[in-house]
Amino acid sequence: MLSINATLIIQVFNFLILMIILYKILYKPVLRLLDKRVQETREMIEEAERARTEAERELKEYKALLQRGREEAIQIREEAKRRVVKEREIIIKETKEEATRIIDTAKTNIDNEFRRAKGELRKEVADLAVRIAEQIIAKSLDREDQHRFIQEYLDKIGSLN
């Protein structure tokens, strides 16, 4: 069966020494290297997770900023529309006031011109009446006829006004 001899014991002893040497020289560094690699992998995963979380947060911020920008643009556009409508109303009002003022000025000018023309017409009629009266007097009308004639003429002129 199994016989234990010195060679077998030496071989087992050599094997154990080899295992201890390999454990100390090779296994620990390999184990440390594997642990280091696992740790680096965990750190990379954590860093990737942090980066993803940061990217998601920034994406939300950018979306919110974009939404605020859109809302602000809508507000600016609406304010511009309100200003345009208000300016248009002011311009229309000012134009109507200016037109009314021009019409009033024109009416005043027309009334003044009408009065001036009426005054000139009266003056010309009076001058004409004097000339006619002179001609009639020259034909020797009596005084009573002259007064009656002038009075009738003046009454006709008065009815024209």
Q: Which of the pair, 88 or 152, is modelled with greater confidence?
A: 88
| pTM of the predicted model as reported, rounded to 2 decimal places | 0.42
Produce one character per residue of 98-110: b if its CB has 16 or more CB atoms within 10 Å, e if not.
eeeeeeeeeeeee
Domain segments of the chain: what residues? 24-160
Q: How far is CA 77 from the centre of its chain?
A: 5
- Residue 75's pLDDT is what? 95
**Would you give the end-to-end CA distance of the chain in angstroms?**
166
Q: Which of the pair, 134 or 161, is modelled with greater confidence?
A: 134
User: Are the CB atoms for 153 and 122 separated by under 8 Å?
Assistant: no
Lowest mean pLDDT among 28-37, 56-65, 74-83, 100-109: 28-37
Could you read off the pLDDT of 22-58 as tens digits, one per residue? 888 888 888 888 999 999 999 999 999 999 999 999 9
Q: CB count, 10 Å around CB of 125?
A: 15
